[in-house]
Chains A and B, each alone.
Chain A
């Protein structure tokens, strides 16, 4: 198994997925969905053959690659399973990047392993999606990341994702504003003022509650900045009952007041340690492309999200926006782990994508958002 990554078959599959991420979006609908299905089934076969626990899991369900014709038949792995054991096509020691899911008292944290090429696929998907949904206008912005560097927080998926976006987008670069001693407030505000003075649009990115911390601090200090037009805010995750009570609408209003960022330029994203793909709200894309769409999280063409009934685990028919359920993601960038991930996010279909309604109650699963909050509240 240790030589799996050098096999021709695997290399070919990775190349095909990469090509699909880069070019699949332009294929005709039928061809694109067929290709997606074909690649999913190949990834399933790879994972069935190389992840012992998943192999056992599928057999218990009576599912094998040879009797699976549609990707929707691929058994989904609950996110909690990442706390139970290793789910990786290689031995865990061969992971290039490991993202941790947060644990709670009495419950251990889980690990989501990425190989070198798996991390590269995730990076490609993240950057691609950021271009489509955070920079649909092709703007060059300077990045202000309320996050530690990936080197300082190697197990934080958000630190990885937003750093990849910064490294691969535009000429202005940017900085991380969480250091060993906590948030570098003075530096952050000085640099924001500098960007305003230089008329360089800012992309302020952080966990949702981190953004709230920043806006609260500005309000408390009577500070208001007039960032250049086109400046934008990306908040990740949500509040998950851990931050001070605030609605997203209030946060967006405060961003307008404190930073002069227009509501259309405030975008929310969903990222999970277990997934290579991050999902963005389409509001900025709608605005730039002058689309009359409702706001929801759109699936990129290399991923597909379904809503699952909480009682019977059956997929709720697409288009039924009246029912909520658990979100189930099929993500081609998850070549290393499990293609199909069943989450603890409560959501529903919206347009051609989905929206998140909250967390499925009475569970201990938390996301990276809380991990950063714990770091922040120590200061």
Chain B
């Protein structure tokens, strides 16, 4: 059965010309070209109509619809989930169990309570999305107004990630046009089809497109018609969108960033029997989930040996957990070139005076590189974790400071007394999320991704002050 790489509410399908299915890594995908007539008539009609539909829906209705679809994707027997797992695995190389885990994590944090918490966190009384609500602090009322429509450009590094842009758009009552990655164009259409098949009104509120990035003309027209642009991507994408999206349009850029972990002095001193294995298991969970292809995963764990087991023992414990993880969630299948580059990286590491020892599982499927604090080691990804042994906090700071603008998630594992000092330092450096080992891949919906309030960035506020009310 062909996987469509586009989605449109039925009444706009006349603006898309389907092409014959093509094979992409064994997945039959059906692309569609945007008809010239879509601009401006079709686009404007969609934006206006979808905005009207969202405006009429109460925010609680939207939450219920989103929750219903999240629940479907958490059902392991749901046909669209099964199809998504199969296709994403073939397209991206992620193993089937890895894709399943990603879907479980993504949608597990996308349930109604999480959505309400995120809305409350950002807006307080989120009824303001439905109309003016009283605010005691303001001694008046305020209203949250969508900055619509939204154009989102998604990446393929995390399976099922595109749903987040769709969900955030709907939670802020924004109609959305989403461009998927050519490397993984199937999930977003499947997600929207789930609304359609369930007869949910939100099915009318998004269009999903897939086209080559060299079609800049199309991107520029979509930017021109939008008020909010969400983009994931590397330096080239960041440079492009920062030039093309000028105020009053809003750009929410999610550039490439990275994560790391810290296991501080004395952290394992009073650890219970089996605690070391549990800690190693958590670190491996951080590393294996997303195969390190996200800023939610660590390149390095900094490890202070003082008051802890020797780093070599910790590395050995990690290796045991990697072996277990390989059976549960097999590593991704890499292209020949990537496989070669990763292996060459591991073989070359042995020649670095900064490397103490390279530990690896059979066939180099997972590896731990035990190293001195000589540099901030950037992993070639796919289960290559550096454990950098340090003695003083300053050694860590010296290594991470040059990468400040790339820092995102940190797994901080230090005794309670040492936490405050680290928190302030990491926050100052630009880290946007700090958690414990094992929690890196599963931020809450309230996370300030890239230090931003993701929902607030997509709306405008209108205040009605006391006297006027």
Contact A361 B353 (CB under 8 A): no
Bound CA–CA A80/B349 (angstroms): 9
Q: Using Cβ atoms and an 8 Å threshold, which residues of chain A touch B348? A: 78, 80-81, 83-84
The range of chain A's interface size is 20 to 34
B302-346 toward A: CB 8 Å interface, digit per residue (1/0)?
Answer: 000000000000000000000000000000000011111101110
Bound CA–CA A80/B344 (angstroms): 7
Bound CA–CA A78/B378 (angstroms): 18
Contact partner of B345 among A54, A80, A311, CB < 8 A?
A80
Q: Given the known A-B contacts A60-B358, A80-B345, are A326 and B340 also in contact in the complex, defined by CB atoms under 8 Å?
A: yes
Q: Given the known A-B contacts A80-B345, A362-B341, are A57 and B336 also in contact in the complex, defined by CB atoms under 8 Å?
A: no
- B351 CB within 8 Å of chain A: yes
Contact partner of A78 among B336, B337, B338, B347, CB < 8 A?
B347
- B352 CB within 8 Å of chain A: yes
- A243 CB within 8 Å of chain B: no
Which residue of chain A has its CB nearest to the CB of B347? A78
Give B contacts to A, CB under 8 Å: 336-341, 343-345, 347-353, 355, 358, 378
Give A contacts to B, CB under 8 Å: 53-54, 56-57, 60, 77-78, 80-87, 106, 310-311, 313, 326, 342, 344, 360-363
Contact B340 A77 (CB under 8 A): no
Interface of B is mostly: helix
Bound CA–CA A78/B346 (angstroms): 10
How many contacts between A and B, using CB within 8 angstroms? 59
Contact A53 B358 (CB under 8 A): no
Contact partner of B340 among A53, A87, A106, A311, CB < 8 A?
A311
Bound CA–CA A53/B353 (angstroms): 8
Q: Using Cβ atoms and an 8 Å threshold, which residues of chain A touch B351? A: 53-54, 57, 77, 81-82, 84-85, 87
27 residue pairs A–B, Cβ–Cβ below 8 Å: A53-B350, A53-B351, A57-B351, A60-B350, A78-B347, A80-B344, A80-B348, A81-B347, A82-B351, A84-B348, A84-B349, A84-B355, A86-B353, A87-B351, A106-B378, A310-B339, A310-B340, A311-B336, A311-B339, A344-B344, A360-B340, A360-B341, A361-B337, A362-B337, A363-B337, A363-B341, A363-B344
Given contacts A310-B340, A326-B340, 19 further A-B contacts (CB under 8 A): A53-B350, A53-B352, A53-B353, A57-B351, A77-B351, A81-B348, A84-B350, A85-B353, A86-B353, A87-B351, A310-B336, A310-B337, A310-B339, A342-B347, A360-B337, A362-B338, A362-B341, A363-B337, A363-B344
Q: Using Cβ atoms and an 8 Å threshold, which residues of chain A touch B337? A: 310, 360-363
Q: Using Cβ atoms and an 8 Å threshold, which residues of chain B touch A106? A: 378
Contact B344 A78 (CB under 8 A): yes
Contact B336 A56 (CB under 8 A): no
Q: Using Cβ atoms and an 8 Å threshold, which residues of chain B touch A53? A: 350-353
Contact B350 A313 (CB under 8 A): no
Q: Using Cβ atoms and an 8 Å threshold, which residues of chain A touch B336? A: 310-311
Bound CA–CA A268/B350 (angstroms): 34
Contact partner of A313 among B343, B349, B355, B378, CB < 8 A?
B343
Q: Using Cβ atoms and an 8 Å threshold, which residues of chain B touch A56? A: 350
Bound CA–CA A194/B358 (angstroms): 60
Bound CA–CA A326/B345 (angstroms): 14
Bound CA–CA A342/B346 (angstroms): 13
CB distance from B422 to the nearest CB of A (A): 26
CB distance from B106 to the nearest CB of A (A): 27
Q: Using Cβ atoms and an 8 Å threshold, which residues of chain B touch A313? A: 343
Q: Which 8 A-B pairs have the closest CB atoms?
A: A84-B352, A310-B336, A81-B351, A310-B340, A81-B348, A80-B348, A85-B351, A84-B351
